Amino acid sequence: MKATVRAHPNIALVKYWGKRDDALILPHQSSLSLTLEPIHVTTTVEFGAPSDTVELHGHAAKGSERDRVLRLLDQVRAQAGRDLGPAKVVSRGDFPMAAGLASSAAGFAALAVAGRAAAGLPQDTRASSILARRGSGSACRSVQGGFCEWMRGEREDGEDSYAVQRFDAGHWADLRMVVAILDRGEKEVKSRDGMKNTVETSPYYPAWVKDAEAEVPRARELIAKKDLEALGELCERNAWRMHSTSLAADPPLCYLNSATLGLIQHLREQRKKGVPVWFTLDAGPNPVLLTNAAHEVAAEALARACGAVDVVRCVPGGDATLLTEHLF
């Protein structure tokens, strides 16, 4: 009745931006990401506790944060088809910065895999990915390592909307992602609200959906060939298009700040000088740089020269895995 899982975050090369079903967390388009080490989240779930308790990163979770965890465990209870009793959840991350890189993808992936294991359900990556998706969309891509593709699916019940691993972490061990923390502050508009506003009000949204869906197989081909230059270009293009559709929302949504633009400018200059470095950008001002092992130090230096207060160098990461040591 107790299980512990370690999972890693992921960064999308082709982003997920917008839901066709808010309750089931079903996306309008497919997306493709890379799971990243060394950062991770470890989560222990135990059923049969005296009452439901959720401790996240050393604090008792409250409000919607707690509700999201308990709702996911209700799904586990329904899948187990028996009374598992209240649950105790303890989760800890080694994310070195406050709001630099969202821990929710790794957190919900760890919770889904640990919740199923604690309930005695068999290991099943598809079922775990669907469950993780119900916590946070991007979490479905953190159940497995390497390059994972979240297929949008067609069904209304979401049973065909989950992530599959296209290439494992060893496929392109030389690839690097360098997270540049320019701003540690909480973002003003969370991804969930930002994408909803964009879906509802941006006239560019249908174009985004069509384009992003078409970029996924292209990205897959470039990953197969390990073509860093072409993948870097695709990645930047996709990030710009996600941000463009949000800039066109009402009210407009701008996640970039002057430091972000400064870094992008500097990165382009470095690239002209032959440094193979590209960027992507989630719903916040902190770019993630894409490069190779030979240039990760140069990428970190570039980020620091542009005012990064923290930099995390990441390598392709592995699957969410069960651990024998529990957090309580």
Q: Tokens for 304?
A: 């620091």
Query: Is residue 215 part of the contact set for ligand DP6 (CB under 6 A)?
Result: no
The residue within the footprint of ligand DP6, chosen from 12, 113, 163, 169 (CB under 6 A), is: 12
Query: Is residue 34 part of the contact set for ligand DP6 (CB under 6 A)?
Result: no
Query: Is residue 104 part of the contact set for ligand DP6 (CB under 6 A)?
Result: yes
Compute the distance between CA of residue 201 and CA of residue 252 in angstroms, rounded to an integer.
9
Query: Is residue 113 part of the contact set for ligand DP6 (CB under 6 A)?
Result: no
Q: Tokens for 257?
A: 């700040």
Query: Is residue 319 part of the contact set for ligand DP6 (CB under 6 A)?
Result: no
Minimum distance, C-beta of residue 225 to ligand DP6, in the bound complex (Å): 23
Query: Is residue 245 part of the contact set for ligand DP6 (CB under 6 A)?
Result: no
Three-state DSSP class for 266? helix
- Our CB check for ligand DP6 shows the closer of 102 and 130 to be 102
Query: Is residue 137 part of the contact set for ligand DP6 (CB under 6 A)?
Result: yes
- Our CB check for ligand DP6 shows the closer of 47 and 205 to be 205
DSSP characters over 196-252: HHHHHH-TTHHHHHHHHHHHHHHHHHHHHHT-HHHHHHHHHHHHHHHHHHHHTSSS-
The residue within the footprint of ligand DP6, chosen from 15, 92, 116, 243 (CB under 6 A), is: 15
Q: What are phi and psi of 48, to 5 degrees?
A: 90, 20
The residue within the footprint of ligand DP6, chosen from 42, 44, 136, 197 (CB under 6 A), is: 136
Query: Is residue 246 part of the contact set for ligand DP6 (CB under 6 A)?
Result: no
Question: Rounded to 5, what percent of the chain is helix, strand, coil?
Answer: 40, 25, 35
Question: Quick one: how far is CA 244 from the chain centroid?
Answer: 20
Where do contacts with ligand DP6 occur on this chain (CB under 6 A)?
12, 15-17, 25, 31, 102, 104, 136-138, 191-192, 282-283
